[in-house]
Structures are given as structure tokens and as C-alpha cells.
Structure 1
Amino acid sequence: DSINDLCAESRKNAQKYKATWDSLSTKRCYLLQFLSAIDLERAVATVQWDVLRKYQYEQPIPDFQWNLETGDTLILDKPCKKATCSYAGRNYVAWYTEEVNLPYGPYIFGGLPGLIMYLHDTKYNWVFTCNGIEKPTKLRDMYLYKDKRYQKTTREKALSACKNEWEDFMNLAVDEIDLTIDGKKPEKNFPRRSSN
């Protein structure tokens, strides 16, 4: 009986919060966890991506063709300059500071005459923000996670797997709480995938 009561209560809560969830689901913003290590000698980035499952892949560091633009701003009290580039079919805007004389940035971005403090594509599908800079009291090793659950694969296979996982995750949410996305049932947005 206690299991039955718990299930009944869960259904009531799902219905209670359905309207709120429906309104929030139309404003999607997802946080993805990336960790990347750059091997400068080999010019390769090793990326670890933690979605529902964990993936690791290597890819060559692109030669970003940055265009230095007019414009300046302050980010974390550091004067920043603007630059633009295209990568993987998207146009990006970067704000970098020459006060931190390191040609690095988030994910695999880099190659500017200073640290990239803020980077986004022009449609704001990808946004990277520097949340803080601290001076360490001593040098620390930087490392990737050594975890057997990371599946070593290619970038393309990792992206495809993450997309499939996310779509199946959304279908699960739709089944459990009768969720609609953009006013449609899941089959309209996320066609079901075979489970074998």
C-alpha cells in the first residue's frame, strides 16, 4: 500500500507542477560539462564530456582565423577587446584581455593575444563565461579524470550519442509527467529511437 500511495502522490505532484514545467520547457537552456586538456606539442585537444554517460575524444586544435574588431568592454574588472571567427559552421564573438597574456580560452578556443574571458556564437546557442581568476599560492597539476566510465570515441560519435541520450531523456520526461515541448507531444519533436 505504501508503494501505491507514493505512486499516487507522485502523479498528483506531476500534475500540480505541469503548468510550471510547460512554461519553463519552452525556455530551454542547458548546462553541459566539458573538460579539455590541450597538448601543445601534438596540437591536439582531449575533451571529456559528461552528459548522461561520459565520453572522451581527441581532436586537432583548429587554426582559428580571428578577426580583431573594434569594441571594448570590462569583464571582471579587466579591459577586454573584441574578436570574431567562424568554427564548425557557427560564427563566434570573443572578448579577450591582454592583461592576462595567455592565448587560451574555453573548450578548444584560443590563439588571441590574451585570455578569452567571454565567448558566444552569434545565436547564443553556445556561451562560455569566465567566472573568476585567482592567483594560486603554488603551481598545481592539471589533469583529466581517470575514470573507467569515460568511453573513448570520436567527436562525431560522442555528439551523436549525446544527442540520442538527450532525446531519449526528454521522451522519458514526457512519459512520466505528460510533458509537452513547444506545445507538442514528444513524437513531433523527438521521434522515438529503437531500444535494441
Structure 2
Amino acid sequence: MKKIFILMMLFSFFGKMMSQTERYIYQTEVNPDTINLVNMKVENTFLDVKNNQSLFISESKLLKDSLTAVLKQQGVTEIKKSKKDKSEFPKLPNGKSIQPTFFDYFITKNQEDKSVNFVESIGSKQVYYQEDRKMNWDISNQISDFNNYKVQKATMTFGGRTWTAWFAPEIKISDGPYKFLGLPGLILKLEDDKGDYRFSFTKKINIEKAFSEVIKPDARRSTRINFRGDKESVRMEMVKNKDPEINFDSFNRMNQRNGGMNGGFGGQQGMNGGMPGSEVGNGQADIQMGNPQSNSAGNNASTMNFGNTNPIELSNKY
């Protein structure tokens, strides 16, 4: 009987471990404008890995979407307006506001079939496409040290930029920030040849019940080439039908220029460990919700309008 009890405890322990999400946190620096001389903007992005699936998402988008889910559970479908007729999203438990992000989308990856899906939300609707370009890495023999890991260099041209990645062979995850995957180890550092984008791994945390993004059954499937047109088509349909949930989408775009801050070519472009509806009012919530701990993009009002004219993908040809 004692052995059975021990076995049950072991199964319970390993089951709990297997259900956890491994969150790899990256400090992400972006040059918002290559024409004008401006400072690099900084925010956190996450790579959530669980059961051969991964989710790339910014901290701000994860916070916003998890809070949106809570509001919808409470029957709230409209965001109130400020005196300047701008949408005001509710503040976080610590009193801070959710900041704009250069990555107002999420990316899902499947390690088994190597599929990559790029997903954007238009109000309550989703539009997505599956990446159709292969990741052709040139792996170098160059070795270095980064954040207490031995890392190896690899390069690739993708989206009109030449990218340099440093991956850790000891972390047996063939994944990395944004759409990047396919190396024999996790990408810990990634930057482009122009110095406009830089992802630097800072730490890993385990989360038992992480809020996750999924592609909805009614999502509009598009292609990489037709993505922008399909997004506008969905938006126009929602406006025409006076869908109240289009007001949620106005929060995404209230500080953006020309309908898009960043994203894949032609696209618009908290450590939230709790499920919607969970308690977020204690000290642990500040860690799991990912409220800014460092000098990130959201620490002063001047960052509210990024004015990004520098998309992460400059071309859709390669």
C-alpha cells in the first residue's frame, strides 16, 4: 500500500512538471525609426515552451490579452473613452498601465512538423498565415559565452535582413525568438545586420498555469502575401456589422501610425502566469504578470507613441 502511495505521488509530481510551461524571457531592443535619430526601445518578449509547442509573444500583448479575457468573462465588451476620445485600458494591480508593443501579434510553432503560424487579432477575430519559407541556417564553428551558457554562432538571411544567432546546444530546444527555429539548441541571442533588432535571453521561469494564446476555430486563414488585405477585409466586416468587440482592437492601434507598428512583412505591426480570473493582487502577481522591473519601453510617457517605421521584415521574397 505504501509503495502504491509513493508511485501515485511520483506520477502526480511528474504530471505537474509535464504540465508546466517553460518561459524563456528576452530583453528585446528595437530601433523604431531608421531615418530619424532615436533611442532604441526596450521591452520583454517571451518564448513559452510546452509539449513540443511554443508561443512567441510580447509581455505587453500577453498582459493585454489576458486582461481582455477577464473583462469578457465579466461581460465587458467595450473599452471606455478618455476625454481625448482615446480608448483607456484598465490598469494593472500595481497601478501601472499596459504599454504599447512592437510585437502586437503572437507566433505559434510546432517542433514536430516545424510549422510556424503568425497570428494577429482584429477585435475578437483572428487572421493568420503559416510561414512558407525555410530556415536555412549557416552554422559556424565559432563558440562564445553568453549568460553562463556556451553558445555557437549561426547566420541566415530572412525577411530582407541578415540575422546572427547564438544558440546553446545544451538546451535541447530547436527554437528561438520571433519565427526563428531549426538550430540544434535554443537561440539565446539574436540580432540583425543593421542593428535594428536585438533579442537577449535573460532568464527562464516555470509557470504551472500560464495564460496561452491559441488560433481560434473561426480564425481567417490567409497567406503571407495576402495577409494585409485579409486583415482589412475582416476589419471592414466588423465595422459594417457594428461589432462592439472591434473597440478592443482600437487599444492595439491607438498609438500606432498608418495602422501598424511592426510585424511580419505587410503586417500590422507579464510574465502572466495566471489564468484569466485568477488573483493578481499580491506580490507574486507582479512577478507572474511581468510588470516592468527594468528600464523598459513603458517607464515614461514619451514611449507611448513609438512611431515605428522599421518593420522586422523588410521583404517578403526571402
Q: TM-score range by the shorter chain?
A: 0.5 to 0.7
| Residue in structure 2 matching 1:119, options 184, 190, 193 | 190
Please give the alpha-carbon distance, in whole angstroms, between the structure 2 residues aligned to 1:109 and 1:44.
11
Structure 1, gaps ≥5 residues long: 1-24, 171-180, 182-196
TM-score (norm 2): 0.36
Question: Which range moves more in the overlay, 31-40 or 43-52?
Answer: 43-52
Distance 1:51 1:99, change over 3 A: farther
Distance 1:95 1:42, change over 3 A: closer
| Residue in structure 2 matching 1:27, options 18, 33, 38 | 38
Within a 5 Å distance, the mapping from 1:19-98 to structure 2 comes to 26-27=37-38, 29=41, 31-49=102-120, 55-60=127-132, 62-75=134-147, 77-98=148-169
What whole-Å deviation, never above 9, does each CA across 1:8-28 have from its counterpart, x for those lacking one?
xxxxxxxxxxxxxxxxx7416
Higher helix proportion: 1
| Residue in structure 2 matching 1:154, options 203, 223, 226 | 223
Distance 1:79 1:71, change over 3 A: closer
Letter in 2 for 1:48: V
Within a 5 Å distance, the mapping from 1:132-143 to structure 2 comes to 132-135=203-206, 143=213
How far residue 82 of structure 1 moved from its aligned partner, in angstroms, is 1.8
How far residue 84 of structure 1 moved from its aligned partner, in angstroms, is 1.2
Please give the alpha-carbon distance, in whole angstroms, between the structure 2 residues aligned to 1:64 and 1:54.
29
Q: Secondary structure of the equivalent of 1:99?
A: coil
Within a 5 Å distance, the mapping from 1:141-180 to structure 2 comes to 143-146=213-216, 151-158=220-227, 167-168=257-258
Structure 2, gaps ≥5 residues long: 1-35, 42-100, 233-252, 261-306, 308-318
How far residue 153 of structure 1 moved from its aligned partner, in angstroms, is 2.2
Distance 1:42 1:169, change over 3 A: closer
Q: Secondary structure of the equivalent of 2:116?
A: strand
Contact 1:91 1:121 in 2 (8 A): yes
Q: Considering only aligned residues, what root-mean-square deviation do their CA atoms show, in Å? A: 3.9
Aligned length: 143
Answering whether residue 114 of structure 2 is matched by residue 103 of structure 1, we say no
Distance 1:115 1:62, change over 3 A: same
Please give the alpha-carbon distance, in whole angstroms, between the structure 1 residues aligned to 2:257 and 2:209.
42
Larger radius of gyration: 1
Taking every aligned residue pair, what percent have the same amino acid on both sides?
A: 19
How far residue 89 of structure 1 moved from its aligned partner, in angstroms, is 2.6
What whole-Å deviation, never above 9, does each CA across 1:152-187 have from its counterpart, x for those lacking one?
32223335769xx854259xxxxxxxxxx9xxxxxx
How far residue 119 of structure 1 moved from its aligned partner, in angstroms, is 1.0
